[in-house]
Structure 1
Amino acid sequence: MTEPRLKFVNCLDSTGLHRMAYWEWAGPHVDAPVLVCVHGLSRQGRDFDALARALSARWRVVCPDVVGRGHSDWLRQPAGYQIPSYIADMVALMARLDVAQVDWVGTSMGGLIGLGLAALPRPEGVPSLIRRLVLNDVGPAIRYDALERIGSYLGKAPRFASLADGAAYLRSISEGFGPHTDEEWLALSTPLFREEGGQWRLHYDPAIALPFAAVTPAVAAAGEAALWSAYDALRCPTLLIRGADSDLLSAETARLMTQRGPGARLVELPGVGHAPTLVHDDQIAIVRDFLGS
């Protein structure tokens, strides 16, 4: 299968229902294991096209558009744009997929969602919802200056005269993604835009920036304590991928993650910051080898 199918699942929030879109790449057979790949803060599920194409020979790959992004609905109450709400949506997705356990690849925000899902308390003897977890350039401690950098452009929703102009803008604020060819960058950028009245705009709800803007150093510190507690509760094999130049995940936090909780296996990628795109063959091989081991 070279292209995914777009599907939807109904999810509950404080004001009613919203639909979450997800892209499904059929596996080699009906009972193939499920791999869920979840994107970063202002991205969408098609970020994982290259990874999904490569891994769909073995896995049924599912790539959600987290609510407020891509083809998913926008929330009526922006306060719902929070990790706990996203975790609840993923529980609904797993019920829709009719699977008891999945493998998980999460980039940045998607990694935090996976961390929270894997740490949910379970009855004795019942395995975690996640069999193997890949955290892509994210951990319990997040550098506040990186949050400020992301907040400087999040929710601004600029418009562009052409798709090429929009892609160039994204490239200017995404240097941490590392080197990509023009073709690779256009493939990563195109699904993020919608054309309206002859102009192109980023297709996510600008209101996702509102809860993000409310994060203060004190709030971030409290969240870090909660995330470390969740991380220490993990029992699933965990792979941590870190861009060696990342401004969000420090080398010290990554080191601690190899010593605490599940004792993550750490792979650092030179010449990349926040966050590796998992587009290139060497990065795909790292994920494939870990999930298949």
Structure 2
Amino acid sequence: MSRVLRTPDARFEGLKDFPYAAHHLEVGEGLRLAYVDEGPRDAPVVLLMHGEPTWSYLYRHIIAALQDRFRVVAPDLIGFGRSDKLPEEAYYSYERHVAWMREWLERLDLRDVTLFCQDWGGLIGLRLVAALPERFARVIAANTGLPTGTGMSEGFRAWLEFSQSVPVFPVGMIVNGGAARELESAEIAAYDAPFPDESYKAAARVFPRLVPVTPEHASVAENGAAWCALERFDKPFLTAFSDRDPVTNGGERIFQARVPGTRGQPHVTLPGGHFLQEDCPDEIARLIADFAG
């Protein structure tokens, strides 16, 4: 395996609105996966899964709003946040990320889970739902998808071209640009914190290339199999896409057409850009609390 990079803890000290301790679990070949785990251990579990190029900081306000009532768990994907990183892009694959997160979920033995997933949090999280439906009580999908090689939106095409050509990958600027509101400088700095230099950004850089938007992409067959499982998933499944996301606009209709659990659910359109957690965290927290019961 590639050498492992570990962001110094000092870079995460004093981040705005993020007092949460990091818990750790080793997955794969000794990779340390970090996660937030707040609230009563015997409370219903809410799992918050982030995407590209964010980390659990994205959910800071939602964690604060839910932690008195729920056990709120927010992992950092390998390559992001406070989790270990690998400097070689070639080591990252869609299937490895799914395997790492499945191992983490099973090792923690999370059950009766309410999943909120966005961006790659859905590409990975929905694979977990498909593989382990018995562990999930309900799902909220927001600004995400489960592609099977049938093309891409113009918004995603522009993102793909930008992400692969920009010489310095500007993580904080990307998150700021993907939110409808203007982030404060301290918030932008918090998104840059996991990446001391470009060598730490291999996962962030490669993720857009891993989205299976063409028939030639890896993981097309695996995602197709996951759709077969989701087409039998009849537990509550809610869509909560935002109204200003050029990347996933209209994606909620695919879930509503194919997942039985979406029927009769109070689907919502939330105000915000791609990173809707930055634009309407209070609305998301209320939605999760009401949905989880």
Q: Does the CA contact (< 8 Å) of 1:157 and 1:201 recur in 2?
A: no
Q: Which runs of 5+ in 1 are unaligned?
A: 122-126, 161-165
Whether 1:61 aligns to 2:72 is: yes
Distance 1:49 1:120, change over 3 A: same
Q: Is the 8 A contact 2:156 2:246 kept in 1?
A: no
| SS state at 2:60 partner | helix
Gaps of 5+ in 2: 1-17
Query: What are the equivalent positions in structure 2 for 1:15-30 lying under 5 Å apart?
Result: 16-25=29-38, 27=39, 29-30=40-41
CA shift in 2, pair 1:186/1:136, >3 Å: farther
Amino acid corresponding to residue 179 of structure 1 in structure 2: R
Q: CA deviation at 1:203?
A: 8.7
Closer, same or farther: CA 211–62 of 1 in aligned 2, 3 Å: closer
2:266 is aligned with 1:255: no
Deviates more, 1:46-55 or 1:230-239: 230-239
Aligned to 1:242: 241
Q: How far did residue 76 of structure 1 move?
A: 6.4
2:143 equivalent to 1:146? no
- Cα distance in 2, alignment partners of residues 230 and 84 from structure 1: 17
SS at match of 1:277: helix
1:233-280 deviations in Å (ceiling 9; x for gaps):
3233111111123222242x422422322342421124x332311643
The percentage of aligned residue pairs carrying the same residue is: 24
| RMSD after superposition | 3.3
Look up the equivalent residue of 2:168 and give its one-letter code: P
Could you tell me how far 1:226 is from its partner in structure 2?
4.7
Structure 1 position 107, deviation (Å): 1.1
State the distance in 2 between where 1:50 and 1:195 align: 19
CA distance in 2, matches of 1:195, 1:228: 33
1:136 aligns with one of 139, 142, 147: 142
Select the structure that is richer in strand: 1
Whole-Å Cα distance in 1 between the matches of residues 167 and 202 of structure 2?
6
Q: If the length of structure 2 is used for normalisation, what is the TM-score?
A: 0.76
Contact 1:119 1:128 in 2 (8 A): no
Give 1:129-278 correspondences, 5 Å limit.
129-141=135-147, 143-154=152-163, 156=166, 158=168, 167=172, 169-170=173-174, 173-174=177-178, 177-180=179-182, 182-183=183-184, 186-187=186-187, 189-194=188-193, 204-210=200-206, 212-213=208-209, 217-219=214-216, 222=220, 225-226=224-225, 228-251=227-250, 253-264=251-262, 265=265, 266-270=267-271, 272-277=272-277
Q: Give yes or no for contact 2:46–2:113 (8 Å, CA) kept in 1.
A: yes
1:136-157 deviation per Cα after TM superposition (whole angstroms, max 9, x unaligned): 1112357343332222343657
Q: Distance in 1 between matches of 2:276 and 2:197?
A: 24
Q: Which residue of 2 aligns with 1:3?
A: 19
Deviates more, 1:62-71 or 1:273-282: 273-282
Shift in CA distance, 173/157, structure 1 to aligned 2, threshold 3 Å: farther
Q: CA deviation at 1:201?
A: 5.3
Give the 3-state SS of the residue equivalent to 2:127 in structure 1: helix
Q: Write the letter of the residue equivalent to 2:256.
A: T
Q: Measure, in 1, the Cα distance between the counterparts of 2:169 and 2:275.
A: 24
Mean Cα displacement is larger for which, 275-284 or 100-109? 275-284
Matching residue's letter, 1:88: A
1:211 CA drift (Å): 5.9
Q: Is the 8 A contact 1:10 1:92 kept in 2?
A: no
Q: Which residue does 2:127 correspond to in 1?
A: 116
Kept in 1, the 8 Å contact 2:87–2:202? The answer is no
Query: What is the aligned length?
Result: 266
Q: Which amino acid aligns with 1:194?
A: A
Distance 1:216 1:43, change over 3 A: same
Amino acid at match of 1:273: G
